Structure 1
């Protein structure tokens, strides 16, 4: 795509501003460029990304990260320069739909609560607003290793699979990774940690290290009801952070949690996380 550099520059510039910010698209040019080229969509980039120009300059961008398995997509944008408006965003959406070879059944959008254009765009498409999401982050300098000698925190084994699946399905019934997808993704950079006490399954944490871009993500944390408020979640957080920060390239770790889940938010803040954004989460059924 000939204009890719200009597209990346616009996304980076716009996404660093709260009133334009779209969740999960990234803010650093190198990361955005790498994601678009290698890990953006199951459809070709030429189908998954549209842009508008004015006087030869890229002024608006809208992308769709399409998932072939679930027939869903996550929106990147609309990213529009300051003089853009809702009409510009809807024009990009129409252009995107017209060029997709596979139209998703559902599309998700995550917009900073200060991003009025993004939210108006979703509402114009008839989207339903789901539960707001809090994005929290911790820097390596703020991390201190703590241990709970009563618990065993280890990588998942096959004997844990069924109990993990049951808890994951209960804790996250409508989520982007189901239990099988998590297990299939496990490797040297993606880890699933299990908490035990006296050989009893208490909970899990799933995290992904991305040393290439100096980042790590704690995607899931869940503890059985009987083990809550006893330090189990904190120990799982600690183990996940210790693993991800073991990569010298990683200096910051982020996670997403429902903003209304104040117990979880407090637990992460006790571990050293700070809140960076609150995202309005939208879901829309696509009508072509």
Structure 2
């Protein structure tokens, strides 16, 4: 296909393209949102290099319309890949974008992808580049109007003295995940919050980490966990209800999303029980060079 490949240089134009493309399940990628304003803000915060370049490549046709795009959210030598996004049926076009962006970032050793199960074109591309499928994940959503808030809380805010126990539990229960325990602690602020659950002996039984974006009116429950020796006691459901209650205390939040392993039927039942409904199924892939 006759197309011009170049670095993206207009955040507004790129945000509109990604929003339009990602609103369709057949071209949807999990790391990227669907709202243009949200995408713009994330691009501004995470995709601008020290030199001021946007870490995205795009392909245009001769009239200037964006046909395809791919971007790297880089954390040292690991990347979350936004894309490929492609409005055409040409795998060759996005392959050119992929190869060029990889060549421009020679220090990257590991790439992570999150593809909607209805996005067949990118699943074919994952096979072409020999990316390994690592799991299937359900995206669930709950609306405030469908949730009954609780009035009493057993969980408490994370303290520095909880660091060692939390990191050990999180890293054991969520291996090869996008945030390790140390990263979560470093991210904590008045909008990224970690709640912990302890027994009467002050031993950590579980935790939940969530992020709230009041400007965009969005919130996501990133992790929730009950230690193995504290399971089957109803603590997971209790902690989930407490954390959702806390999240809905933000007046800007009227819906919450989370990602859960599709094969984790027990967790899915708990989420459905408190009012979550399925929205998407995403497939995770990893490629190591």
Q: Alpha carbon RMSD of aligned pairs, Å?
A: 1.9
User: Which residue is equivalent to 2:14?
Assistant: 7
Question: C-alpha displacement at 1:281, in angstroms?
Answer: 0.6
Q: Out of 127, 138, 157, which is 2:131 matched to?
A: 127
Q: Is the 8 A contact 1:133 1:259 kept in 2?
A: yes
Alpha-carbon distance between aligned partners in 2 of 1:242 and 1:4, rounded to the nearest angstrom: 35
User: Which residue is equivalent to 1:248?
Assistant: 251
Deviations 1:213-267 (Å, cap 9, x if unpaired)? 1111111111122322222111221222122211111222111111111111111
Question: C-alpha displacement at 1:44, in angstroms?
Answer: 5.8
Partner of 2:74: helix, strand, or coil? strand
User: Which residue is equivalent to 2:169?
Assistant: 167
Question: Scaled by the length of structure 1, what TM-score is found?
Answer: 0.91
Q: Is the 8 A contact 2:9 2:54 kept in 1?
A: no
Deviations 1:161-216 (Å, cap 9, x if unpaired)? 22212211110111111111111221111111111232342111111111111111
The count of aligned residue pairs is 280
Partner of 1:19: helix, strand, or coil? helix
Alpha-carbon distance between aligned partners in 2 of 1:248 and 1:238, rounded to the nearest angstrom: 17
- Pairwise mapping of residues 1-288 of structure 1 onto structure 2 (< 5 A)? 2-40=9-47, 46=53, 48-54=55-61, 55-68=63-76, 71-81=77-87, 83-100=88-105, 102-146=106-150, 152-198=154-200, 199-286=202-289
Q: Is the 8 A contact 2:9 2:53 kept in 1?
A: no
Alpha-carbon distance between aligned partners in 2 of 1:44 and 1:222, rounded to the nearest angstrom: 40
Alpha-carbon distance between aligned partners in 1 of 2:177 and 2:100, rounded to the nearest angstrom: 28
Question: C-alpha displacement at 1:10, in angstroms?
Answer: 1.6
Structure 2 stretches lacking a partner, 5+ long:
1-7
Decide whether aligned partners of structure 1 residues 133 and 8 sit closer, same or farther in structure 2, where only a CA change above 3 A counts.
same
Question: C-alpha displacement at 1:61, in angstroms?
Answer: 0.9
Structure 1 stretches lacking a partner, 5+ long:
none
